[in-house]
Amino acid sequence: MDKNQWAYSENVKKHFMNPLNILQGPEEDYKADGKGMVGSPACGDMMMVLIQVAKNRISDFKWKTFGCASAIASTSALSELVLKEGGMSLDEAYKITPEEIIKELGGLPSNKIHCSVLGDKALRAAIDDYYEKNGITNPFQEKSSPVVCTCKNVTEEDIRMEVLEGVTDFEKMKEATGASTVCGQCEEDVKNTMKKYIDQYYSDDIYNPGE
Amino acid sequence: MSHYLDNNATTPLHPAVKEAITQSLDYYGNPGSMHQQGRVAKQKLDDAREEIAGFLGATPEQLTFTSCASESNNTMLKSVSSQDFGFTPHIITTGIEHPSVFNTAQYLQKRGIDVTFLPVTNDGIIEIASLQKALRKETVLVSIMHANNEIGTIQPIEEAGELCSQRGVFFHSDMVQSPGKIPFSLNKMPVDAASFSAHKMYALKGIGALYLKKSRFKNFSIIPLIHGGHQEAGLRAGTENSLGIIAWAAACRVMKDEIDTEIAHVKSLRDFFETKVTEEINDIVINGGNAPRKPCTSNISFKYIEGESILLRLDMNDIAVSTGSACSTGSLDPSHVIMALHDNPETAHGSIRFSFGRENSMEDVERTIAALKETVTFLRGISPLSP
């Protein structure tokens, strides 16, 4: 077999072996306008994104990643995507989806998608941080739902939808969304989120309005 | 030139094994047939069984050939669910078994059988006191591996076997990683059953054995996993894999003379490797490093970085290793073995197994150390966890 054939696409290999836009030197020396950090070492993937912003565009993007080849490659590909043609507008950058990153990479094995493509979330967190630091009202935040389980990328909205579908048991929620099935660190958060919506949608007041 | 340091996963064929295979390709007869072709095949099979049994320290009739050690382990464990004890049976095994024991035990658990998974110390060794505590009157089977496949630690089989013998409990051991790798003989082992595989000792894949010391059987029966013809004394149906068995016998024949040299050889490579890695790379944990270990195995966790990245960058340097990281397994769970030692997913995600074999040289080790140093420095340089 050709030794150059391997588990991932050529583009993953390129970005993994020679990743672009890595933060060099200490974080303090890089004057970041926004910083985003997602994932956890327990899950096996964690990434940090630092951005510089000029005229509502991302003028520079630096990153660091702990994780597998696809986690490293996907962050590198994201940085290339964001910085091409003089840098994306904050609006465009905020809307980047994991699918776009996967396309840049020329595809990923399906079991790698949820755990390793975290760059878009880290970038959104960095943009949120930029707005917050500068006291600017975040024009995007209401559009995105916070991630509750980072291992399986399950958002508060995903949990809300399942609760509405009738999933009110924690074990069933794990089955339905995959939340809290990997490192388990988000168990309390998932339960609290479920409780919030269960209380909202299934309280006695709604079912027994007259009593 | 490639540097193959994954000999615990499987081994390249020994030249003597290749020769035996090419010389045996025409023994196509079914050993169960009465005609000449069948009789020749049967003779070859009998000779091979004697050779393998001799190497393992068993008698020929104590060996039941199977397709692999996973089958041997499955036969053993599933025998519990295939017989009626008149009570809910209890099995004791460990948290660091090979998946063919570990996952099979979990499967039996789902089918209503009680299972205890013994914990291990931080060095990856079970404690006899915990086995003693776990034994109950319903315990029908204890299965404890000999040398661990991931970290190489050697379990106190003699003590565990003696204890089971005193308590009248059937004792099985997965010994796949031992023959040819450590000084080994079944005739000194207080086990009732053991599992073996040929491809871990320079022979072919697709052939394994279940050793059964019939004289020690108590109220426990081995129930075949595969029913059919009367091969292997009715314990394992299916036409014998004669070529696989002959090749395994060839490996045993040559290993008998080479084993001492090989053990000394891999031990010197492994020890040099670990000394150099410890000198040149900081923030590492040698998993099982303080316990009795197979001399061919080194399992190291590199802090702040992830195993699949290490593995793939080493692969780019033509170095083959394996990892306990979740990312390489297709599941999202890191190695249950490293987790059993440290209960720390980070340590498991960053673990790499280097396993040496007869073909490895000092050059392999030196190239690996150089590539490893470069890889670890690079990955730590891009990791947000690095201090």
Q: DSSP readout, B337-364?
A: HHHHHH--HHHHHTEEEEE--TT--HHH
Find chain B residues with C-beta within 8 A of A45's C-beta: 306
- Write the pLDDT tens digit of every residue in B294-307: 999 999 999 999 99
Question: What integer pLDDT is reported at residue B331 of this predicted model?
Answer: 61
**Average pLDDT of span B90-108:** 97
Residue A197 confidence (pLDDT): 85
Beta-carbon count within 10 A of B158 CB: 12
pLDDT digits (tens, 9 = 90+) for A45-57: 899 999 999 999 9
Which of A8, A15, A22, A68 to substitute to test the interface with B, most B CBs within 10 Å? Answer: A68
The tokens 């036409």 sit on which residue? B239
Picking from B81-85, B137-141, B212-216, which range would have the lowest pLDDT averaged per residue?
B212-216
A45-54 vs A57-66, strand pairing mode: antiparallel
Cβ–Cβ gap A44/B306 under 8 Å: yes
Q: Decide: B189 and B161 in contact? Cβ < 8 Å.
A: yes
Strand-pairing partners, residue A45, are A40
Instruction: Note the pLDDT of residue B217.
Output: 60
Can you tell me the distance from the alpha carbon of B180 to that of B170, in angstroms, rounded to the nearest whole number? Answer: 26
Which one of B283, B310, B312 makes the best mutation probe of the A interface by having the most chain A beta carbons within 10 Å?
B312
Question: Within 10 Å of residue B199's Cβ, how many Cβ atoms?
Answer: 23
Mean of all residue pLDDT scores within chain B: 95
Q: How far apart are CA A149 and CA A191, in angstroms?
A: 11
State residue A139's pLDDT score.
85
Quote the pLDDT of residue A143.
Answer: 57
* pLDDT at B371 > cutoff 90: yes
Model confidence pLDDT, tens digit, residues B188-204 = 899 999 999 999 999 99
Question: A–B: how many Cβ contacts below 8 A?
Answer: 75
pLDDT in tens, A164-180: 777 888 988 998 888 88
Residue A167 to residue A207: CA distance in whole angstroms: 17
The class of domain B3-9+258-378 in CATH terms is: alpha beta
Question: Would you say residue A8 has pLDDT above 90?
Answer: no
Contact criterion met (CB below 8 Å) for B354 and B5? yes
What's the whole-number mean pLDDT along residues A88-103?
92
pLDDT score of B19 more than 70: yes
Least CA distance to A45: which residue of chain B?
B306
Which helix or strand (DSSP H or E) is residue B211 part of? Answer: strand B208-212
**B15-252 maps to which CATH number?**
3.40.640.10
Given a contact cutoff of 8 angstroms between Cβ atoms, the answer to whether B157 and B146 are in contact is yes
| Mean of all residue pLDDT scores within chain A | 86
Per cent of chain A over pLDDT 90 is 47
- Chain A residues with CB under 8 Å of B330 CB are 111
pLDDT band of A206, cuts 50, 70, 90: very low
pLDDT value, residue A115: 63
List the single residue in B2, B312, B349 with the smallest CB-CB distance to A44: B349
Q: What is the pLDDT of residue A113?
A: 72
Is A41 in Cβ contact with B349 (below 8 Å)? yes
Domain boundaries, chain B: 3-9+258-378, 15-252
Return left, alpha or beta for B300; rule: phi > 0 is left, psi -120 to 50 is alpha, else beta: beta
* Cα(A49)–Cα(A71) distance, integer angstroms: 13
Please name every residue paired with B194 in a beta bridge, in sequence order, or none if there are none. B173, B211
Q: Which of A23-37, A120-134, A173-187, B316-330 shows the lowest mean pLDDT across its residues?
A: B316-330
Tokens of B374: 């470069």
* For residue A144, pLDDT beyond 70: no
- The SS3 of residue A25 is coil
Give the pLDDT band (50/70/90) at residue B129: very high
Q: Per the structure block, which two tokens stand in for A177?
A: 């969304």
Residue B263 is predicted with a pLDDT of 97
Roughly what angle, to the nearest 10 degrees, separates helices B69-81 and B99-110? Answer: 20
Percent of chain B with pLDDT over 90: 92
The three-state secondary structure class of A92 is: helix
Q: Which helix (H) or strand (E) holds B243?
A: helix B242-280
Residue type, B19: E
Exposed e or buried b per residue across B174-186, where buried means at least 16 C-beta atoms within 10 angstroms of its C-beta: bbbbbbbbbebeb
Looking at residue A210, what is its pLDDT?
Answer: 38
For residues B84 and A71, what is the distance between their CA atoms, to the nearest angstrom? 50
All domains of chain A in start order, with CATH: 1-142 (3.90.1010.10), 145-211 (1.10.10.1100)
- Distance between B341 CA and the closest CA of chain A, angstroms: 15
pLDDT for B328 equals 59
